Every structure is written in C-alpha cells, then in structure tokens.
Amino acid sequence: MVEDKKTLRRHMRGILASIGDEQRTVSSSSIVEQIGSSMLFAQCTHLFAYMALKQEVDVSGLIDLALRSGRQVALPRCRTDYSLDYHWIVQDEKDWKLFLEEGPYRLKEPISLWPKASIQDNTLILVPALAFTRSGERLGKGKGYYDRFLSECTERCIKLGVAFETQIVPALPVHPHDTKVDAIVTEEGFIYCV
C-alpha cells in the first residue's frame, strides 16, 4: 500500500503541475468565493487556513475576507516531529503577509511570536491534499502532518478539503490513521462527505 501511495502521489503531482497559472488563479478565486458565501463560513468564528504552495489552491483571499469580517484566523507552522502548530494572525496586522517567514518545504509560515492557536467552537479548518475521494478520504504529501492534527480535532470543528476538481478521485488506499474531511470544495462546488 505504501508503494501504491507513492505512485499515486507522483501521478497527482503531475496532474497539478499540468494546471496552468491562469487556470489555477481562476479556479482558486472561484473556490474562495464559494467558501466565502457558504453557510460553513457564515457559521464559523475561527478559521484555520494555510498558505498555499504553488500548485495548491490559493486561499489568501479568504484569509483577508475572514480578517475583515472579524474572524480569528490561524496559520500552521511545521514542526520537526511532523506535527503542526497553528498561530493566530494578530488582528491589527493589516499587512499580515509581511509577518510570514519561509519554513520547511518552502512553505510560508506565521512568525512564532504570534500566539499559539487552539481549536474553538465553530472552527472551520481548511485542509489541502494531493487528492480526495467523494467520501472524504484524502491523500496527503506523505509526512502525516494533517493526519496528526486532524485526529485531535473534535466535533466542534468542520474539516473542509480544498482542491481543484482534477484532484477528486474514485478511490484511495487508506490506513486506519488516515483522517477524513467532512466536506470538500472545488471550483465545481461543494461535496458533502458521508
């Protein structure tokens, strides 16, 4: 199964690399607009987001919207033990992107001086991945960062997979420790997982 996942990761990276910059921008904007006008977003008071790598859905516009609307927003830092620490964006930081630094894997991460965040009631967690199934299974990048983090989440939060439509696949090899998402959003709309 490990080899199956490696092969599938390589395949999905190729698919993501084939999406042109213009299409990625248009699709990302559509996804951000859909999340921003959804009941999931309307009901959340806290947003756990991420800073996208080049081939991921860019959700920075949603972060801006959440901050403008008074929501608390947290971004992750990768730890050496393959876990994630989320930090709140300090609300009065109008230019919050200036307070990011490069972390492992060339990820933009919040500065460690921002307060550590914890899951609150009405938290919406945005979850990137290489692939998702319609039932909420996900294929991460192989280090288990999100599996570790999501396994600690309770019913107080909604785990929302964020992906391009080409990342939705019929089936994935899964392990018992793999954590599902509650819903997925693509440029085509929402998929509510069962």
pLDDT tens digit string along 118-132? 888 899 999 999 999
Q: What is the CATH number of the domain that holds 93?
A: 3.40.50.10420
Which pLDDT value is given to residue 22? 97
Which residue in the block uniquely carries the two structure tokens 């996804």? 31
Name the phi and psi angles at 181, rounded to 5.
Answer: -100, 160
Are the C-beta atoms of 2 and 145 separated by less than 8 Å? no
pLDDT tens digit string along 5-36? 899 999 999 999 999 999 999 999 999 999 99
Per-residue tokens: 104: 């492992």
Quick one: 70 exposed, middle or buried, by C-beta within 10 A (0-12, 13-18, 19+)? exposed
Average confidence (pLDDT) over 51-69? 95
pLDDT tens digit string along 76-113? 998 888 889 999 998 665 788 888 888 877 889 888 88
Among 85, 74, 89, 73, residue whose Cα is nearest residue 149: 85
Which pLDDT value is given to residue 93? 59
Residues of the chain above pLDDT 70, percent: 96
Which pLDDT value is given to residue 3? 63
Polymer length in residues for the chain: 194
Whether 155 has a pLDDT exceeding 80, the answer reads no
pTM above 0.85, yes or no: yes
Q: Tell which wins on pLDDT, 95 or 180.
A: 180
The residue range of the domain holding 81 is: 2-192
Which pLDDT value is given to residue 177? 77
The total number of structural domains that make up the chain: 1
Give start and end residues of each alpha helix (H) in 18-144. 21-36, 39-43, 60-68
Amino acid type, 48: F
Q: Tell which wins on pLDDT, 165 or 150.
A: 165
Q: Tell which wins on pLDDT, 46 or 3.
A: 46
Which residue in the block uniquely carries the two structure tokens 């959700």? 59
Are the C-beta atoms of 48 and 87 separated by less than 8 Å? no
